[in-house]
Structure 1
């Protein structure tokens, strides 16, 4: 299983996902700005992965501030560190894991004003590494919880890429797929190609092929017909932000897949870690939706496919209402309706653990 990122103490190496599947190349990031650029460009992508990458970027940011002001105390570095935090959060607005990880690192720095700047750097690095390792462990628990929902010889449809490439390893939606495969109960994964950037075709199909997991690639507009003709057992997708009522933002096209699944009476599951929940938002109407460059729609890997003057609407995400979601698979178990009540119980449990 290829690594999404690797921390080297003074730099972060990222797998360049914009080059897959044709090239396996990496990007060496020596400062937080380059990590932020990689997040914007989708060189690193997937809510959990960009959260972990941003955590390491915060460490690089603190190291940069120390190098610029060798005699500075931790307290004097905090105002500039807050600006680093704001820059990273602004790179992509929809995935809440990004802000969650960055705030976690920044909040820890706030609790250490009496420490030396060097001591704070080591503590922040330890937390970033913990966020990375925790994500892999969380994904494996999500996989176990999700695989238990599937029948033998399961046929599953997924959208976009919520696998090892979108996380620190194993995956969320594809973590469920991987566990089902390990358990000997997976017959086939149908992967939507996921226009306009083809994360399903370039990443999901490649990732599953690399691991020997059976996969059939389909175009996005084949999903409903595939549901009708291929006897699917479940749809499993990832998430970039989940509101307090269960409404879920995920890669554009997910909402349509959920509607088709509802019509065909196929269970539709979200697989996501607790860090993807935004308890502060009452519903999906408050989730910010990133809109991206029109050229992503008007060309395909450099080949022009539309009139250059054509107007384009290019939201990167859509929101699936909770009444279309059969269950939300987390490391704590599977949440089901009533979502407001059950998500609140989960929030209370997390607060008790803290």
Structure 2
């Protein structure tokens, strides 16, 4: 098997060389590295163009958003699999080799991934290879990604590879115009077609606290379009039968999450409103706990509890880089 690596780039000049270097350092060499410069204005594309390696190909386009950049990379990819890496993140040298092992373990999987670690490193300095405990390296075959997602976050946009044939067979790839959840939308739609194999060890480093990062952009508290679509498709039968019930459950759970965010900001009435929207999950422990918090828990304590819960839900905690 071989991998085309797609890196969308927008104004991440100080990080992109580190990202590309981490791909070129893979023990299982990539077939190609496609950096799609989405109209950057900080010279990032020029830095990529200066990299002297025939596997690196720079594609320039007018600014159209990260989904358009990823779609452009998919169109250009020549490999059997397309692996995605954000321009401010980096891979462990064994990342692609570990994905290949996951494929051997679970040949039926249509998507491969690993876990990740979040690091605070805003300068663009390269990461030294980090130790990955062997005890975490088992491969998990996920049949229902939505149910698995609510346990803890098993993957992210910088740890995923998808069969190229699967991506090109999809009527829509990354939905252009969505500003939040466009990657989750894609992963769930791929997972509706085939199982997902995840190596439960952190083989990617995700930079936290990066200015202009999509993950750091404040978002209005409303139901994201991909969840609106997911709920509608579950109800009208567009989703496969095995996915419909968990899709509705997942939307309810995300609405409970929004309720908790509102509660942490002392917006009790708004939190209760979101809980009512998620009433399909009203008998779940998570819904009941949140309702009790909204009615009785002091606001400051609710905020601290929510922050602790988010941190403790992940196996791999955020860490600074010295």
TM interval, short-chain normalised: under 0.3
Alignment TM-score, normalising by the size of structure 1 = 0.26
Which structure is higher in RCO with an 8 Å CA cutoff and minimum separation 6?
A: 2
